[in-house]
Amino acid sequence: MLVVRSLAVAAVAIQAMLLGGVLGVRSSIRSRFMRVGMLLSSIATFAAAAVVLASLLAVGAHTIPEYVMAVLDGVLSAAELAGVWLLVLYINNQQRRDTLPQEVADLLREHRDAAEHARESYVRAFDDFPALVWRADTAAQRDYFNKAWLGFRGRTTEEERGDGWRQGVHPDDLDGYVDLWLGAFEKREAFDTEYRLSNADGEYRRIEEHGRPFLEADGTFLGYLASCSDVTEMKEQADRLAYLADHDPLTGLANLRALRVALDRALARAQRNVPSILLVIDLDHFKAINERMGHSAGDAALVSVARLLTEGTRAADVVARLGGDEFAVLLEMTEVDGAVVIAQRLVDETRSRLEQTGLSIGLAALAGSDDVTEVLRRADESMNEAKRGGGSRVVVNIRAARHDA
């Protein structure tokens, strides 16, 4: 019986401690239901243990059967274990709840840091690219320039960052380039363009640029990446080739190919009664100049004639070198009489300004002609007739009409 009473005293003491623990943590229990339930269960088990202990102390050893005391002792022990379990469970759950947001935050931070590191590693791979590379963030501010860009510009990343790069764009190209770039940025579209950018020596170079949106694997927009190349020499060579395709390299005049294109347009207008006249011109005594004074003197004579023809005609007229010592002038929106005046003035100017040479000019109207070849043939026939007549003269071939000056 003494053992049973001792167990009962221990049970009451444990229940008292459990009750005190529940009262101590009740303010931190977020669930009102759990807070009330734990408090009531603790009070009930404490009260039950106290009643049992009081009964044991008030009665004799033979009044209560031993099996009843054993049952009561088991009930109290179960209540004690349940109380301890509930309190421990709550504390563990509370600790886990308190640490979960921090764990999630840590995981998110680690993921973000890993993603940022991967992006930076990807971009840094462009550091040693020979092409000029820049990157812009989601606010259209440029925050990365590779070594090739910085070396070309002769500036630091800090100087180029943000809008600092704009200082290098040619003033005539800046507004158009910025409008194109920001327009593509707003639409998240690729863009390709050319503009002039100053290098470390202050020389403006022609830049070809290709910009593309920079995306995460899941499609998240991260900004823009652009690759640029200095195409100055390539463009200059292309311009030279395009120029030579339509111009005579010695005199700088249009060549036969360019003249044919202009004649095609003039023939189409002639069908609408817009008059045009073709002059075919031969330099008199050119062979003698070459033989007596050398080819350099002959070339100088050709250049002088080219200058004289250009100065003696309008800016809209097409002056061409056909090859050798032959030239041509297309006078658009000009009647025959006006063309004769111009041709004779050219003959007179050459005679007065150039020694030992002159001009033989054949004139043909485009009206009524079938094609360019026919017009060239008729004008050439008139020119040959002028040479046979002694040179330094104008011969007109307008189908049946003819004029000698």
What pLDDT sits at residue 16? 60
DSSP string, 221-278: EEEEEEEEEE-HHHHHHHHHHHHHHHB-TTT--B-HHHHHHHHHHHHHHHTTT--EEE
102 plus 143 within the same structural domain: no
Which residue range(s) make up the domain with 305? 249-397
265 plus 227 within the same structural domain: no
CA dihedral 372, 377, 379, 381 (to 10 degrees): 180
What pLDDT sits at residue 160? 97
* Residue 349 neighbours by CB under 8 Å, 6+ apart: 308, 312
DSSP string, 302-319: HHHHHHHHHHTS-TTSEE
Rounded to two decimals, what is the model's pTM? Answer: 0.56
**Three-class secondary structure of residue 321 per DSSP:** strand
153 plus 253 within the same structural domain: no
Tokens representing 3 are 């053992």
Residue 198 lies in a domain: yes
What pLDDT sits at residue 360? 96
What pLDDT sits at residue 36? 60
The phi and psi torsions of 390 (rounded to 5 degrees) equal 110, -5
What pLDDT sits at residue 401? 39
261 plus 221 within the same structural domain: no
Q: Crossing angle for the helix pair 232-246 and 256-270, nearest 10 degrees? A: 60
345 plus 294 within the same structural domain: yes
Q: Please give the tally of structural domains in the chain.
A: 3
pLDDT digits 0-9 by tens, 238-279: 989 999 999 999 999 999 999 999 999 999 999 899 999 999
259 plus 230 within the same structural domain: no
What pLDDT sits at residue 319? 98
Residue 230 lies in a domain: yes
What pLDDT sits at residue 61? 45
Q: Please calculate the CA angle 327-332-335 and round it to the nearest 5 degrees.
A: 105
What pLDDT sits at residue 129? 86
138 plus 187 within the same structural domain: yes
176 plus 259 within the same structural domain: no
161 plus 287 within the same structural domain: no
What pLDDT sits at residue 237? 93
229 plus 283 within the same structural domain: no
CATH code of 326's domain: 3.30.70.270
* Residue 80 neighbours by CB under 8 Å, 6+ apart: 11, 14, 15, 18, 45
- State which H helix or E strand residue 393 sits in: strand 393-397
68 plus 154 within the same structural domain: no
Q: Which residues of the chain have pLDDT under 50?
A: 3, 61-62, 67, 400-405
Residue 125 lies in a domain: no
Residue 176 lies in a domain: yes
